[in-house]
Structures are given as structure tokens and as C-alpha cells.
Structure 1
């Protein structure tokens, strides 16, 4: 059986987004797809995985809809599906911007100049260029472009507060990049609003760059939001830049802490993985809810315990209220 994993996004107005999410979940389940999709009034953001035939049907169906005709799917052949469940959720944004008024930016109206991978590769080393990683710290700690500027942020919603650190680069060309391109749409729009005049973005992100430019000068691995956790990008001049959180040994392996109440993303070598039982610290290793470590460091989300007392109280109040 041949499987594929699709990474994509699309900024476009979706009317009745909540109902669209419900219907889209049923459509995905009818194809036996697994994955995670975010629906918002501003568009779609998804990663889905399934058989090659199912993925082809999914792509053809979305492309047949005028709203999604221009979606650029990044396609990976995989040995097995990259997810365990299928989720489609309706949210306020497909990428949380951290802005009090998310509508102050609209990637369909203003965003950076899109660079195809080979164009990005040609520009990135120029003296008048700054390459900017707009991803979170655990992502760029695993892998990033050589000499890229990075921010110590845990989520993209912290990005707007960091822009003032780029003030000295206002006379430069800013080349933004992320995993698949979606964060750059908003990051570049924010930079333009803050007075940066020459703003560009890597179209299709790191994943497309790896496929079309061989990943040249991308150091380390690329973090992905599925059970693979990371993928190889550079087939030209690959290096490992990440180190084991516990012992400092060079390692490309990224995992999630086995303690579900921590769930920290961190790099850990094989030896420390088994010694620490997939945990980042001794307290996590000794935690009563610690999950079983199988060497992968990927876990299905564990539901939090239900507060039965609160649930009964709520039900009683509803009955009394008639």
C-alpha cells in the first residue's frame, strides 16, 4: 500500500466556516484520511495523510472548488499514514497571529513578494539580504537556514512583539521562511505594516525548498506537525545542528516529553531517550501520568480527566433552569 502526506494552506473567505468544518470532516472520513485541518473565516490550514488514491481524490476535489483552485499541495510519499486520527476544527484564525484585531492584516491584500525556491536560494546570501525564520524556537533549534535570524518564541502569536528587534535591518531585503509558507503570509504582512519596504517570503516554505532546490544550506532537519516529528530537507550539504537536551550529544531526533502535562518538544539522543524513558527531566520521568515511551516520542493527545462533580453540578443547574 502506498501512502502520502499532504501539507497545504489557503487564505480565502469561507462563509459559514463552522458548517464547512463539519461537512469537511465527514468528507475526509469518507476517504479514510487522517490528519489535522483548521478552518477559519480566513481560509484553510491542513495536513492530511492516507492512501495515494485518497490523497489524489482529496486534492482534485479541493482544486475543483473555485475558492481552493490555487492551493499548492506539498506531497510526501510515506511508509504509513502520518496521523492516528482525523480532526477538522473551526477557529478564529488558521494561524494565531497574537493580534488584538486579527483583521488588521489580510494576506489576500498585502503580503511579501513570493520567491520560488530557486529564487530564494539565489538571493539568500547577498550582502543586502537578511534571512528571517518566523517559526518557534523548538523548530529552528532542530533545523534552520545557515545564518538565519531567529527569535526565541514558543508560538507564532509572540512574533509581533519581536519585530522591533529587526529595526537595524530596515534598509535590508527581508526574506522570511517557515515550514510550508503559511506563517510567512502574516509575518510579511506585519513587517510591511511596520515600515519594512523590501519584504519577501519563501513560497511553499522549507518543504518545497527541499523538493525543488535540494534543501541547499538548510542545516538540520525540519520539524513537522505530525507523527514523523521531523523530515530531512537537505540532500546537497546536510549537517546536524541540534544537540541532546540531556547530555549535549549531537542528535537530529526530536520528541515530545512522555509526561503529558509537560509535553515539551525537545531533541534527545537514542541513549538518553531510553535512559530517561522519553522524558526531559527526572520529575517528568517519575510523573504518575507518564506515557509509555516506544522510542518514537510521538503520542496521541491524552484527554484531561473529567471533573465529574462539576459536570453533575452543571447538569443539575440546567434541570433546575428548565
Structure 2
């Protein structure tokens, strides 16, 4: 069970089931050359967090509605690996000595469960609200290395791409998003949990669910 989203820009999946079934599904998917380098993130729970399997074809995986933020039209925005970001946060600056500002591209419901310590959070309900909400902060970000982040890496990539095309060349995206950071760097520098869009509600830095009771997986 879970959700499969397909668009011209790619494919995004959240699936839950027995490990053998999940592995077999991804093996078949990765046999297609277009998905051979797809990164898979695993977490575990005792419950089945999805009610059914849904598959949708959409114009965008997550709607942004910005022509200058489309991954198919521009090279990928530069990224920072979780281990590198962990080191930057620990030392208080990037390798060039610039201060680091973490930019949360998620909505208010999500970051209420947790975010990076000191992150810039924006009062948005939808991802499409981000450009207007960010506008008052542009000047204060000019001398910083800005690292955009989200749950798994889609919104922060689009946000970083749009920001760079809009004149902010000091923006990076966090490779793999928060969940990728949890996998590789643990929770250092992060306060709380990461909200997820299923019955688990949120995951802690050890990728353990906030809610883990219900229908067995």
C-alpha cells in the first residue's frame, strides 16, 4: 500500500509492506534505466501506515507553478551532502567561512513537529506560497550560505532552483532532505521529529514513528 506519484519530472513513491515485497518492487523499477540510480530511503514500523495503494499522474510531483523552478528545464541546483552539512552546523559556518542559514520549505503543520535548530521557517500553508513569504527575508540572506530543506528532497530542490534563477546564487539544497539527513547524520542540529504524510505522523532522527499502532504491516 502507499502512494505513487508520476509526472514528467520524475516519480515519487511512499510504499509500505513486507521487506521482500518492497525489495522486489524496487528491483523491478530499477531495472528500467531511467530509475537505475533512484535513491531509496527505508524506515520501519509495526503498523501499515497506508489505507490503500494510490497511483496518480500529475503535472508536477509537488505543485510549485514556477517556470523558473522546474527541474526538467534547468540543471539541478547544487546540493550539500548530509555529512558535510553536519560538519558545517557543528563548526558554525561553511568551508568558506560563511554563516549557514537553514531554510525550511515545508508548511506550518510540518515544521511544528520539528526543524533544524535556528532554521528560517515561513508561515505558509502551501508550497506555492513560498516565494511571497520569502521575499521579506532576501536581504538578510545575502551574506549567508542558504541550505533549503524539506522532507525528502523534492520541494527543497525546486525552491533552490527557483531562488538561484531569481538571483540568489548562494543557495544549496540538502541532498535527500531531512530523512536523508537522519539516515546519514542522525539528529545532530535538528530539534524534534520530521512530519510524514501517513498514519505514522512523524519520524524521529532514528526513523522511529511517533504512532506505531494499528493494522499490522
Question: How would you bin the TM-score normalised by the shorter chain?
Answer: 0.7 to 0.9
Separation in 2 of the partners of 1:104 and 1:209?
27
The gaps in structure 1 that reach 5 residues or longer are 1-33, 236-251, 255-295, 297-322
| Residue 110 (structure 2) aligns with | 139
1:1-322 → structure 2 map (5 Å cutoff): 34-97=1-64, 99=65, 102-108=66-72, 109-124=74-89, 125-126=92-93, 128-168=99-139, 169-233=141-205
Task: Tell me how far apart the structure 1 counterparts of residues 67 and 10 of structure 2 sit (CA, whole Å).
Answer: 13
* TM-superposition CA deviations, 1:50-89 (whole Å, max 9, x none): 1101110111111111111121111112213221100001
Partners of 1:173 and 1:214 in 2: how far apart?
22
Which consecutive segments of 4 or more residues in structure 1 shift more than 3 A? none
SS in 2 for 1:107: coil
Maintained 8 Å contact 1:134/1:183: yes
Scaled by the length of structure 1, the TM-score of the pair is 0.60
Deviation at 1:253, TM superposition (A): 6.7
How many residues align structurally?
205
8 A contact 1:38–1:91 mirrored in 2: yes
Q: CA RMSD in A?
A: 2.2
- Report if aligned partners of 1:136, 1:156 keep a CA contact under 8 Å in 2: yes
Unpaired segments of 5 or more residues in structure 2? none
Change (3 A) 1:55 1:121: same
Secondary structure of the residue that 1:46 maps to in structure 2? strand
Residues 111 and 162 of structure 1: CA distance in aligned 2, closer, same or farther (over 3 Å):
farther
Q: Which structure has the higher relative contact order (CA within 8 Å, separation 6+)?
A: 2
What is the CA–CA distance in structure 1 between the aligned matches of 2:127 and 2:185, rounded to whole Å?
A: 26
What is the SS of the residue equivalent to 2:119? coil
Deviations 1:19-71 (A, max 9, x none): xxxxxxxxxxxxxxx00121112211221111101110111111111111121
Q: Distance in 2 between matches of 1:253 and 1:49?
A: 16
Residue 7 (structure 1) aligns with: none
Structure with higher Rg: it is 1
Distance apart, 1:234 and its partner CA: 5.9
Who is 1:247 aligned against?
none
List per-residue Cα deviations over 1:90-114 (Å, max 9, x = no partner).
11110110x2xx4433325333322
Distance 2:38 2:136 in 1: 33
Give per-residue Cα distances to partners, 1:179-202, cap 9 Å, x unaligned. Answer: 111111100011101211121111
Aligned to 1:18: none
Structure 1 residues 234 and 196, CA gap change in structure 2 (3 angstroms) = farther
